[in-house]
Amino acid sequence: MSKAWDVNVNGTTHQVEYKPGKLIVNGQKYKVKSQNWFVNMIDYPITIDGVEIRVVAIGNKVDLAVNGVYLGSKEPYVPLNKMPAIANVFIGISCIAGFLLCGWIGVLIGVLFSVLYARMGLTGKTGAVVGAFVGCTAIQVVIFILVNFVLLA
């Protein structure tokens, strides 16, 4: 999940590299930490010559925002703290309830859907976040029922 960029700031090229848990800017290393317990969510600011650069990671997708625009997707930068609170609540519920219902498979399903909650929440699609949560919960409940049906048979 390592990713590197060459960023031109005021005519000077700077190297920015993201590796899980660390950020390397022109050879200088910084420790970065996820803002969420269950899903890798990083929004790390860097200022080079007065230009704001942000490394944003959600799950295994990493992009660099320079002056408010992502380099990879060309979309406007949205801070992770703008994600609706309900998405964070759903992330916790999906992972913890998934573990309680189906063990590690439930956690894996919860984490996969949690990445969707974060991405949809940042685009302002709260209804889609709720729909994804309902779908995730339904899948986890079906797996719970199937596992218990097999164990009782």
pLDDT in tens, 94-150: 999 999 998 999 999 999 999 999 989 988 899 999 999 999 999 999 999 998 898
Cα distances (Å, whole numbers) of residue 75 to 25, 52, 91, 101, 121: 23, 16, 24, 38, 15
pLDDT band at 50 (very low <50, low <70, confident <90, very high): confident
The bridge status of strand 12-19 relative to strand 22-25 is antiparallel
CB 101 within 8 Å of CB 94: no
**pLDDT computed for residue 37 by the predictor:** 84
Q: What is the pTM of this model?
A: 0.78
